[in-house]
Chains A and B, each alone.
Chain A
Amino acid sequence: MPGFTLPKNARVPGTKIASLAAAVVAVPLILTGCTDNTKAPDTAGGAIDVVSSNSECKVSATSVPSGNLTFSVKNEGTEVTEFYLLAADGLRILGEVENIGPGLSRNLVVTAPAGTYTTACKPGMEGDGIRAALEVTPSGNQRPADADFQHLLDTATTQYASYVKDQGEQLLTGTEQFAAAFAAGDAATARGLYAATRQHWERIEPVAESFGDLDPQLDAREADLEPGQEWTGWHRAEKDLFPPAGYTALTAAERSAIADRMVADTKDLVERTRTLEISADMLGNGAKELLDEVATGKVTGEEEIWSHTDLWDFQANVDGARIAFENLKPALQQKDAALAASLDEKFAALQAELATHAQGAAFTSYDKLTPEQVQRLASLVDALGEPLSRLTAAVVL
């Protein structure tokens, strides 16, 4: 899986790490989809203990009431193990937890309606594993299974993939126009295109960042550079277009080289997004990460230190997060309607505050904001970011 879920890894050139995090979060999407809306743990006896050794898989219960089940899996073997909860057919995976090193413990939380299930430990991560039956008895507090849940998730990811492609194509068109003006020395036109074009980048930033080589080429800030590193991309152009005092302007040849490189890198990006496979957890995590970007870079004015167009980026990050959320919303409403309603409300509040700084498509320069205005925005970002961080687990787990 590409690093979309984990743009945190993305800035590491040459490494592509499907981290543990992805493994833990990305439980299969074939879920029961049925659950009460409260999300309260309702396993009568608390966690179900599972002890996995090289040859055994001891499950502390053979029968549990339906609802949210927490399996506390301890690896007492010498090999890396994993644990699965399978449907009665022994094929359909309801939940799994992977990569449990020897001596370590890890929790798996799944929602299971009444029925017969199969548990399996897989020491060494090979074969069918050591299996046993688990009976889940009716506890009477759930809705019946919704067979359409997976369809809702599929729809969400399909819609988001289309969104990413569309934004990528608009980014390329805008970048070509920007690059032409920049290379030609038409600074006024380039300045006018700068923030609006970057919005297409910022809307899909976690996707863009997932390509670890392209992100630094296109979006590195001067402070991100290591000694001797070539500086290219948007912020290199930004400094030339919005020069600080004492700055030496680029030559025409230097501008052309940067412009050409931006267009080539963006084409590469768009090409790669066409084959990107998107999963529901990527949407949820991507939305959260976009808000993190706002909290650490945009709300502080660090992203656009010369152009001060941070609020454009801010809006674009929020757009990207909101689209991901809205694509997932029908599924979320089934799993946690209260969270869906809360996110709707928080997105609206943040958007309303942002709108007070907009004039048409344009935004107030960041350096014109008062400290109180920045505080209000930051507070709304936190208010949204906190529930948004629960989106992935709510939909995928």
Chain B
Amino acid sequence: MDPAVGERPTAGARLSRRGLFGIAGLGGAAAGLAAGFLGHDAVAASAAPPAADSPVVPFHGDHQAGITTPAQDRLHMAAFDVTTTKRDELIQLLKDWTRAAEALTEGRPAGATGAVDGPYGAPPEDTGEALDLNAGKLTLTFGFGAGLFEKDGVPRFGLDGRRPEALIDLPHFPGDDLDPARSGGDLVVQACADDPQVAVHAIRNLARIGFGKVRVRWSQLGFGRTSSTTRAQQTPRNLFGFKDGTNNLKVEDDQLLDQHVWATAGRPEDAWLAGGSYLVARRIRMHIETWDRTSLGEQEGLIGRTKGTGAPLSGGEEFTEPDFTRQGKGGKPLIPLDSHMRMAHPSQNSGVRMLRRGYNYTDGSDGVGHLDAGLFFIAFVTDPRSHYVPMQMAMAKGDTLAVEYLKHTGSGLFAVPGGVKPGGFIGDGLFA
């Protein structure tokens, strides 16, 4: 066992030592307590949803948290290259990450002795910057890239034949300007939290645990969730100032989630994907400065909605169903044929939907004084071949917003295993 992680301590000990998550933390603490008393199986799969104001999102379940979890405000995502060639070391890493994730998502520090309770002569096991903070609704969601299964056509880690067919190499989309240093990766970890320090703390400690076995390939900070994943949330705005995610799939859409988000394990060897999904990550740079010089009328025409209320240009309120047939002056459609909203709408994409979970990002400015900013697009889909590639291909060609004001600079596709059962570890089905 990697000493940086340690055995999962009993919930009681943890609670008394940290003692900081207070009333709001009881949901998570109670779940941990139950696990301690009743054994792991008793709370498998169905960890009760936390109280609305609880800062703890349960880590265990049929699905990984961080997919249908109401979108938190902040993101830190990191992709890793696996540097070890040993299957045992990879499995141990996934176990260590699981134990750490269990702790971190409950607001506890990584490692048995955390940030301040270890030997005076040794570096602390937890980096400490999340002391005094609660769990912040932290979720950690793990995914496997194609590179975990094979590199240069050669299978790795004894995973011969286990690469899911849907874990494709994404094609080149028109206009792509992908930076290899911001693309790909064998493993990905999405950390979402309401506090950026909590999200950064989580990725930092996972990276630290992984040193020697994995190397961070790229990471991305995000702020201002750009979509809603529950009807209780107000639709947020992207950096173009428009509401984003009005028509997104929501956690309330059970049947649609089954149809469009959760992966189906087609082959017996893909059974580990049951309850999982595919995560598409795209770093989409926005040409903010030229957008800001565009007239309001043109902005709205490019989006297909009003900037104020987010109503479709065919009329109504934000959640009014758009009427793509409604015509304006000269018989032209009120919602332009090349508008972003029309191009992305399920009616234009064989009924395909996706659960988007993107974030605004700003990585400072580029060398010429323009904001290096945009949308870090994240979507969960049942199969990227049907649910991402055709739509993105169409939009890269025909969505004028995308053609003129966006540039994709990073890309990743990952198979997200189903949820972790207490006592299990991330993706354990794949290594069974």
Q: Which residues of chain A have C-beta atoms less than 8 A from B313's C-beta?
A: 20, 99, 101, 104
Which residues of A lie under 8 Å from residue B368 when comparing CB positions?
Answer: 299-300, 374-375, 377-379
Distance of A273 Cα from B235 Cα, bound (Å): 44
* Cβ-neighbour of B174 out of A20, A25, A225, A378 (below 8 A): A225
Q: Say if the beta carbon of B311 comes within 8 Å of chain A.
A: yes
Majority SS of interface residues in chain B?
loop
Interchain CB contact (< 8 A) of B297 among A8, A25, A105, A389: A25
A382 to B370, CA, bound (A): 9
Q: Which 6 A-B pairs have the closest CB atoms?
A: A101-B315, A24-B297, A21-B298, A389-B293, A378-B368, A99-B328
State how many angstroms separate the Cβ of A10 from the closest Cβ of chain B. Answer: 8
Q: Which chain B residues have a beta carbon within 8 Å of chain A's beta carbons?
A: 171-177, 287, 289-290, 293-302, 306, 308, 311-317, 320, 326-330, 332, 334, 336-338, 367-370, 393, 396-398, 400, 403-404
The answer, among B296, B327, B369, for a CB contact under 8 Å with A378, is B369
Chain B positions within 8 Å of A82 at CB level: 329
Q: A residues within 8 A CB of B171?
A: 227
B334–A99 CB distance below 8 A:
yes
CA distance in complex: A11, B400 (Å): 7
Q: A101-B311, A296-B290, A300-B368 are in contact. List 14 more A-B contacts (CB 8 A).
A: A12-B338, A12-B403, A17-B336, A17-B338, A20-B297, A20-B298, A21-B297, A25-B298, A80-B327, A103-B311, A375-B367, A377-B368, A382-B289, A388-B293
What are the residues of chain B within 8 A of A12 when measuring CB–CB? 337-338, 397-398, 400, 403
Contact partners of B301 in chain A: CB under 8 A: 19-21
Q: Which of B298, B311, B312 contacts A6 (CB 8 A)?
A: B298
Q: List 19 A-B contacts (CB under 8 A).
A: A8-B404, A11-B404, A12-B400, A15-B398, A19-B298, A19-B301, A20-B297, A20-B301, A21-B300, A25-B295, A80-B334, A101-B312, A102-B315, A103-B315, A125-B329, A226-B393, A374-B367, A389-B294, A392-B295
B293 touches A104 (CB 8 A): no
A77 nearest in chain B by CB position: B315
**Whole-angstrom CA separation of A388 from B295 in the bound complex:** 12
Tell which of A101, A300, A371 touches B314, judged by Cβ atoms closer than 8 Å. Answer: A101
With the chains together, A375 CA to B370 CA distance in Å? 10
Residue of B nearest to A80 (CB): B328
User: Are B290 and A11 within 8 A (Cβ)?
Assistant: no
- Within 336-389 of A, Cβ neighbours of B (below 8 Å) are at 371, 374-375, 377-379, 382, 385-386, 388-389
A3 shortest CB reach to chain B, Å? 10
A83-111 residues at the B interface, CB under 8 angstroms: 98-99, 101-105
Are the C-beta atoms of A378 and B297 separated by less than 8 Å? no
- A302–B302 Cα gap in the complex (Å)? 24
Residues of B within 8 A of A25 (CB): 295, 297-298
Is the CB of A393 closer than 8 A to any CB of chain B?
Answer: yes
CB distance from A99 to the nearest CB of B (A): 4
> Would you call A226 and B397 a contact (CB within 8 A)?
yes
A383 to chain B, nearest CB (A): 11
Given the interface contacts A15-B338, A382-B289, does A99 sit within 8 Å of B329 by beta carbon? yes
Q: How distant is the Cα of A296 from the Cα of B370 in the complex, in angstroms?
A: 10
Q: Which residues of A contact B327 (CB under 8 A)?
A: 80
With a CB–CB cut-off of 8 A, which chain A residues contact B316?
101-103
Pairwise interchain contact B317-A224, C-beta atoms closer than 8 A: no
Contacting pair A226 B173 (CB below 8 A): yes
List of A residues within 8 angstroms of B330 by Cβ? 18
Task: Compute how far the CA of A18 lies from the CA of B172 in the bound complex, rounded to whole angstroms.
Answer: 30
- Residues of A39-75 at the interface with B, using a CB-CB cut-off of 8 Å, are 75
| Segment 224-247 of A: residues with Cβ below 8 Å from B | 224-227, 229
In the complex, chain A residues whose CB is within 8 Å of the CB of B396: 226
Q: Measured between alpha carbons, how far is A295 from B397 in the docked complex, in Å? A: 21
Does residue A154 face the partner (Cβ distance < 8 Å to B)? no
Nearest-Cβ distance from residue B241 to partner chain A, whole angstroms = 15
Q: Which of A288, A296, A371 contacts B367 (CB 8 A)?
A: A371
**Contacts A223-B175, A225-B174: A8 and B369 contacting too (C-beta < 8 A)?**
no
Chain A: CB-nearest residue to B403: A11
- Asked if A23 CB lies within 8 Å of chain B CBs, one says yes
- Min CB–CB distance B298 → chain A (angstroms): 3
Task: Compute how far the CA of A57 lies from the CA of B314 in the bound complex, rounded to whole angstroms.
Answer: 20
Docked pose: A22 CA to B274 CA in angstroms: 50
State whether the Cβ of A116 lies closer than 8 Å to any Cβ in chain B: no
Pick the most buried of A102, A229, A288: most chain B CB atoms within 10 A of its CB: A102
Chain A min CB distance to B174 (Å): 5
Contact status B287-A295, CB under 8 Å: yes
- A288 and B393 CA atoms in complex are apart in Å by 28
Judging by beta carbons under 8 Å apart, are A104 and B306 in contact?
yes
With the chains together, A6 CA to B367 CA distance in Å?
A: 29
The reply to whether the CB of A155 lies closer than 8 angstroms to some CB of chain B is no
A17 contact set on B, CB distance < 8 A: 332, 336-338
* 8 Å CB contact of A295 from B289, B328, B400: B289
Asked if A158 is at the interface of the complex by the 8 Å CB criterion, the answer is no
Q: Complex: how many Å from CA A23 to CA B313?
A: 13
B329 touches A224 (CB 8 A): no
Q: Does A9 interact with chain B (Cβ within 8 Å)? A: yes
Bound state CA distance, A25 and B298, in angstroms? 9
> Does A23 contact B311, Cβ atoms closer than 8 Å?
no
CB within 8 Å for A292 and B293 given contacts A98-B329, A226-B396: yes
The minimal Cβ–Cβ distance linking A122 to chain B, given in whole angstroms, is 10
- Collect the chain A residues with CB atoms within 8 Å of residue B300's CB: 20-21
Question: In the complex, A34→B24 CA distance in Å?
Answer: 65
CB distance from A39 to the nearest CB of B (A): 16
Shortest C-beta distance, B182 to chain A (Å), equals 16
From A20, A21, A98, A125, residue with most partner B Cβ within 10 Å: A20
User: Closest approach, in angstroms, between the C-beta of B265 and any C-beta of chain A?
Assistant: 29
Alpha-carbon gap, A8 to B176, bound state (A): 18
> Which of B173, B326, B400 is in CB contact (< 8 Å) with A101?
B326
Interchain CA distance A223-B177 in the complex, whole Å:
7
A8 to B400, Cβ gap below 8 A? Answer: yes
Cα–Cα distance between A225 and B177 once the two chains are bound (Å)? 12
Do the beta carbons of B337 and A385 come within 8 Å of each other?
no
The interface residues of chain A lying within 8 Å CB-to-CB of B306 are 104
- Knowing A99-B329, A382-B289, say if A393 contacts B176 (CB, 8 Å): no
Cα A31 to Cα B240 in complex, Å, equals 32
- Closest A-chain residue to B293, C-beta based? A389
- How far is it, in angstroms, between the C-alpha of A379 and the C-alpha of B369 when the chains are bound? 7
**A8→B401 CA distance, assembly (Å):** 8
In the bound complex, what is the Cα–Cα distance between A227 and B392 (angstroms)?
13
Find the B residue at minimum CB distance from A385. Answer: B293
* List of A residues within 8 angstroms of B332 by Cβ: 17-19
Are A382 and B369 closer than 8 Å at their CB atoms?
Answer: yes
Q: Are A288 and B328 in contact (CB under 8 A)?
A: no
In the assembled complex, the Cα of A229 lies from the Cα of B403 at a distance in Å of: 16
Instruction: Please report the C-alpha to C-alpha distance between residue A298 and residue B334 in the assembled complex, in whole angstroms.
Output: 34
Which chain B residue lies CB-closest to A378? B368
Which residues of B have CB within 8 Å of A9? Answer: 336, 338, 400
